[in-house]
Chain A
Amino acid sequence: MSDASDATTAKRGPTPDDGLKVAKSGPVLAADGTPLKRSLARALRMQKMRALMLIAPLLVFVLLSFIVPIVSMLFRSVENEIVENTLPYTTEQLAQWDGTTDQLPGEPVYQALYFDMFLAAELKRHTRLGTRLNYESTGMSSLFRQSGRKLDDPGKDYRKAFQGVDDGWTDSATWLSLMTGDPSADRDTALVKAQKARLARLDDTRLPGLPEFAPSTEISELLPLTARTYTAFAVMTELVDEKDMAKAKPIESVYVALAADLAAADVTGYSGPEADRLKALAASGAATAPDFAAIFADIDKDWANVATWRTIQTHAAPYTSGYFLNAVDMRKTPEGAQAQPEDKRILVKLFIRTLIMSLIITGSCILLGYPVAWILANLPMRSANLLMILVLLPFWTSLLVRTSAWKVMLQQQGVINEVLVWLGMVNDADRLVLINNQTGTIIAMTHILLPFMILPMYSVMQTIQPSYLRAAKSLGATNWTAFWRVYFPQTVPGIGAGSILVFILSIGYYITPEIVGGTKGVFISNRIAYHISSSLNWGLAAALGTILLIVVLLLYWAYDKIVGIDNVKLG
Chain B
Amino acid sequence: MADSTTGEAFVEFERVQKSYDGENLVVKDLNLSMPKGEFLTMLGPSGSGKTTCLMMLAGFETATHGDIRLGGTSINNIPPHKRGIGMVFQNYALFPHMTIAENLSFPLEVRKIGKSEREKKVQHALDMVEMGAFGGRRPAQLSGGQQQRIALARALVFEPELVLMDEPLGALDKQLREKMQFEITDLAHRLGITTVYVTHDQTEALTMSDRVAVFDDGRIQQLAPPDLLYEEPENSFVAQFIGENNTMLGVVKEIRGEEALVQLDGGELIDCKPVNVTAVGDRTRVSIRPERVEYNPERLKPGAHTLKAEVLEFIYMGDIFRTRLRVAGNDEFIIKTRNAPDQRRLSPGEQIEIGWLPQDCRALDA
A-side interface residues, number (CB < 8 Å): 26
Q: Which residues of chain A in 448-499 are interfacial with respect to chain B, using CB atoms and an 8 Å cutoff?
A: 465, 467-468, 470-479, 481-482, 485-486, 489-490, 492
A4 CA / B171 CA spacing, docked (Å)? 9
B110 contact from A470, A476, A490, Cβ within 8 A: A476
The verdict on A2 contacting chain B, using a C-beta distance below 8 Å, is yes
Q: Which residues of chain A come closer than 8 Å to B320, judged between CB atoms? A: none
Contact of B106 among A1, A465, A470, A477 (CB under 8 A): A477
Pair A472/B86 contact, Cβ less than 8 Å: no
Q: In the complex, are the beta carbons of B111 and A476 less than 8 A apart?
A: yes
Q: Are B96 and A474 in contact (CB under 8 A)?
A: no
A485: chain B residues within 8 A (beta carbon): 106
Partner of B93, one of A6, A470, A478, A481: A470
A1-B171, A4-B173, A477-B81 given as contacts; is B93 within 8 A of A471 (CB)?
yes
**Contact in complex: B106, A3 (CB < 8 Å):** no
Find residues 286-334 in chain B having any chain A CB closer than 8 Å to their own CB.
none
Across-interface contacts of B96 in A (CB, < 8 A): 490
Binary per-residue interface labels of chain B (86-110) against chain A in the complex, 1 for a CB within 8 Å, 0 otherwise = 1101110101110000000011001
What chain B residues lie within 8 Å of A492 (beta carbons)? Answer: 97
Q: Is A7 an interface residue (CB 8 A)?
A: yes
B35 beta carbon closer than 8 Å to chain A: no
Whole-angstrom CA separation of A344 from B79 in the bound complex = 64
Interface digits, B40-82 against A, CB 8 Å rule (1 contact, 0 not)? 0000000000000000001110000000000000000001111
One digit per residue, 1 when the CB lies within 8 angstroms of any chain A CB and 0 when it does not, for chain B 150-183 equals 0000110010000010000001110110000000
A474 and B80 contact, CB distance less than 8 A: yes
Cβ of A477 and Cβ of B110 under 8 Å apart?
yes
- Contact check, A475 vs B154: say whether CB atoms are below 8 A apart: yes
Among A1, A4, A476, A477, find the residue whose CB has the most chain B CB atoms closer than 10 A.
A476
The verdict on B84 contacting chain A, using a C-beta distance below 8 Å, is yes
Whether B111 pairs with A3 at a CB distance below 8 angstroms is no
| A467 and B158 in contact, given A474-B81, A476-B110 (Cβ under 8 angstroms) | no
Contact A7 B173, CB 8 Å, known A467-B89, A467-B93, A475-B154: yes
Are B110 and A474 in contact, CB atoms less than 8 angstroms apart?
A: no
Contact of B89 among A3, A7, A470, A482 (CB under 8 A): A470
Q: Are B87 and A471 in contact (CB under 8 A)?
A: yes
A3→B173 contact, CB < 8 A: yes
B 214-234 binary contact with A (CB < 8 Å = 1; else 0): 000000000000000000000
Given contacts A1-B173, A3-B173, A6-B143, contact A476 B158 (CB under 8 A): yes
The answer to whether A470 and B143 touch across the interface, beta carbons within 8 angstroms, is: no
Could you say which of B59, B79, B110, B164 contacts A475, with CB atoms under 8 Å apart? B110
Give chain B residues whose Cβ lies under 8 Å from the Cβ of A465. 91, 93
Query: Shortest beta-carbon distance, B215 to chain A, in Å?
Result: 21
Give CA–CA (A441, B41) in the complex, Å.
62
Is the pair A468, B95 in contact by a Cβ cutoff of 8 Å? yes
Number of interface residues of B (CB under 8 A): 35
B85 within 8 A of A: yes
Task: Please give me the residue from chain A that is nearest to B86 by CB atom.
Answer: A474
Query: B176-229: which have CB < 8 Å to A?
Result: 176
* Chain B residue contacts of A489, Cβ below 8 A: 95, 97
B366 to chain A, nearest CB (A): 40
B-side contacts of A4, CB under 8 Å: 144, 173
A1 touching B110 in the complex, CB below 8 Å, given contacts A489-B97, A490-B96: no
What residues of B have a CB within 8 angstroms of the CB of A2 in the complex? Answer: 143-144
Q: Are A467 and B154 in contact (CB under 8 A)?
A: no
Check B37 for interface membership: any CB of A closer than 8 A: no
Q: How far apart sit A267 and B84, CA to CA, in the bound complex (Å)?
A: 116
CB distance from B301 to the nearest CB of A (A): 44
Complex Cα gap A476–B106 (Å):
9
B residues near A477, Cβ cutoff 8 Å:
81, 106-107, 110
Q: Of all chain B residues, which has the CB nearest A1?
A: B144
Across the interface, do B81 and A478 meet the contact criterion of CB distance under 8 Å?
A: yes
CA A196 to CA B155, docked complex, whole Å: 87
**Inside 8 A of B79's CB, which chain A residues have their CB?**
473
Closest A residue by C-beta to B111: A476
B145 located at the interface, meaning its Cβ lies under 8 Å from any Cβ of chain A in the complex: yes
Nearest opposing residue in chain A for B97, CB measure: A489
**A485, B102: Cα distance in complex, Å:** 11
Contact B95 A486 (CB under 8 A): yes
* A470 to B176 CA separation, bound complex (whole angstroms): 26
Tell me which of B58, B143, B154 has the highest count of chain A C-beta atoms within 10 A of its own C-beta: B143
Contact B58 A474 (CB under 8 A): yes
The verdict on A474 contacting B85 (CB below 8 Å), with A3-B144, A468-B93 known, is yes
A467 touches B91 (CB 8 A): yes
CA distance A472 to B98 in the complex (A): 12
Decide if A490 touches B97 in the complex (CB within 8 Å).
Answer: yes
Give the chain A neighbours of B158 by CB distance below 8 A: 475-476
Instruction: State whether B58 touches A7 (Cβ < 8 A).
Output: no
Contact B80 A470 (CB under 8 A): yes
Among residues of B, the one whose C-beta sits closest to the C-beta of A465 is: B91
How far is the CB of A6 from the nearest CB of chain B, in Å?
5
Chain B residues with CB under 8 A of A472: 95, 106
* B108–chain A nearest beta-carbon distance, Å: 9
Taking a contact as CB atoms under 8 Å apart, the answer to whether B89 and A471 are in contact is yes
Find chain A residues with CB under 8 A from B82 CB. Answer: 476
Q: Are B91 and A3 in contact (CB under 8 A)?
A: no
State how many angstroms separate the Cβ of B148 from the closest Cβ of chain A: 9
Residues on B with C-beta less than 8 A from A1 are: 143-144, 171-173
Instruction: Give min CB distance, A4 to chain B, whole Å.
Output: 5
In B101-146, which residues have CB < 8 Å from any A CB?
Answer: 106-107, 110-111, 143-145
With a CB–CB cut-off of 8 A, which chain A residues contact B81? 473-479, 482
CA distance A485 to B145 in the complex (A): 25
Q: Which residues of A contact B143 (CB under 8 A)?
A: 1-3, 6
Residues in chain A near residue B155, CB distance under 8 A: 474-475
Min CB–CB distance A2 → chain B (angstroms): 5
Residues of A within 8 A of B164 (CB): 474
Q: Is the CB–CB distance between A7 and B175 below 8 Å?
A: yes
Candidate in A471, A472, A478, A479 with the most chain B CB atoms within 10 angstroms: A471
Question: Are A476 and B107 touching (Cβ within 8 A)?
Answer: yes
**A425: shortest Cβ distance to chain B, in Å?**
38
Closest to A485 in B: B106
Complex Cα–Cα for A476 and B83 (A)? 8
Of the candidates B85, B90, B93, B176, which one forms a contact with A3 in the assembled complex, judged by CB atoms under 8 Å apart?
A: B176
What would 9 more interface pairs be, CB under 8 Å, given A7-B176, A476-B84, A490-B96? A1-B144, A2-B143, A3-B143, A3-B173, A473-B79, A473-B80, A474-B83, A482-B81, A489-B97
* 13 interchain pairs, CB-CB under 8 A: A1-B143, A1-B172, A3-B172, A4-B144, A470-B60, A471-B87, A474-B81, A474-B86, A476-B111, A478-B81, A478-B110, A481-B110, A489-B95
Interface residues of B (CB under 8 A from A): 58-60, 79-87, 89-91, 93, 95-97, 106-107, 110-111, 143-145, 154-155, 158, 164, 171-173, 175-176
Pick the 5 closest A-B CB pairs, nearest first.
A3-B144, A475-B107, A471-B93, A1-B144, A474-B87
Listed in ascending order, the chain A residues whose CB lies under 8 Å from chain B are 1-4, 6-7, 465, 467-468, 470-479, 481-482, 485-486, 489-490, 492
